[in-house]
Amino acid sequence: MYDLKAYAFRKDGVIYVTVSGNLPNSCYTAEIVDKYPGGNIVYIRDPGSAQVFIDEFLKPNSGVCLMVLVPWVSHVSIVDDVYNHVAIFVNGDPVEKVEVNDEPKEFRVIALTASEVEGFKGCSVIPSNAVYPAIYNSVYGPNSKAECDEWLKENCVKLMGSDWSFPLGLSGDGTGEFPHGNK
């Protein structure tokens, strides 16, 4: 995975981690396969940080692969009050270690870079200091979560099949649940 970035924050005893990066070509995919604590990994000695494990692999029967970098993003929630860092592993190798931030107080709205004139598309509300893929632009904020949610509803086009879930941050109802991706 290229240009891997992660952002983590704690809210009510849960660490919310968003990981993004670029896959090497269109025949690759990736998924979060485990987490610590709360996953299948068990340690005899404390590793000193929460952990997220990602596996990258070729899609079966891929056929012709487009030789372009493919953006990838996923999320995981880790129930934990102890660790102040999250280590990210890709294919078993440690790649990144990020600090767990406090619950965000300021947010921003991001939209797909290629949004059309009639309204912003692919909008998400994310913490103001969170990293996001280069296929997005910041279009509003930083501001409060409520103000960003209101701006999004007034200025963003709802994509077909969308439920206004926000893949890079908090859900529209402010619960912090991630309706897409891994939990």
Instruction: Profile the chain (183 residues) by mean pLDDT over runs of 10 residues.
Output: 92 92 92 96 94 94 86 91 96 95 89 70 84 83 91 75 42 36 33
The confidence score (pLDDT) of residue 121 equals 77
Helix ranges restricted to H, 27-170: 145-155
Sign of CA pseudo-dihedral 58, 62, 67, 73: negative
Last residue of a domain, one of 33, 67, 101: 101
What's the DSSP call for residue 146? H
The confidence score (pLDDT) of residue 60 equals 85
The confidence score (pLDDT) of residue 172 equals 39
The confidence score (pLDDT) of residue 164 equals 42
144: its two tokens: 């409060």
In this structure, the answer to whether residues 60 and 141 fall within a common structural domain is no
Helix ranges restricted to H, the chain: 145-155
Q: Can you tell me the distance from the alpha carbon of 63 to that of 66, in angstroms, rounded to the nearest whole number?
A: 10
The confidence score (pLDDT) of residue 130 equals 84
Give Dmax (Cα) for the chain. Answer: 56
The confidence score (pLDDT) of residue 141 equals 87
> In terms of C-beta density within 10 A (0-12 exposed, 13-18 middle, 19 or more buried), how is residue 50 classed?
buried
**This prediction's pTM:** 0.74
Q: Can you tell me the distance from the alpha carbon of 3 to that of 77, in angstroms, rounded to the nearest whole number?
A: 22
In this structure, the answer to whether residues 119 and 55 fall within a common structural domain is no
In this structure, the answer to whether residues 137 and 96 fall within a common structural domain is no
Q: Answer yes or no: are the C-beta atoms of 120 and 156 closer than 8 Å.
A: yes
Its domain, for residue 183, covers 104-183
Q: Can you tell me the distance from the alpha carbon of 141 to that of 130, in angstroms, rounded to the nearest whole number?
A: 13
The confidence score (pLDDT) of residue 178 equals 34
In this structure, the answer to whether residues 25 and 95 fall within a common structural domain is yes
Last residue of a domain, one of 101, 116, 134: 101
The confidence score (pLDDT) of residue 180 equals 34
The confidence score (pLDDT) of residue 115 equals 60
- CATH number of the domain at 136, please: 3.90.820.10
How many domains does the chain fold into?
Answer: 2
Neighbours of 136 (CB within 10 A): 21
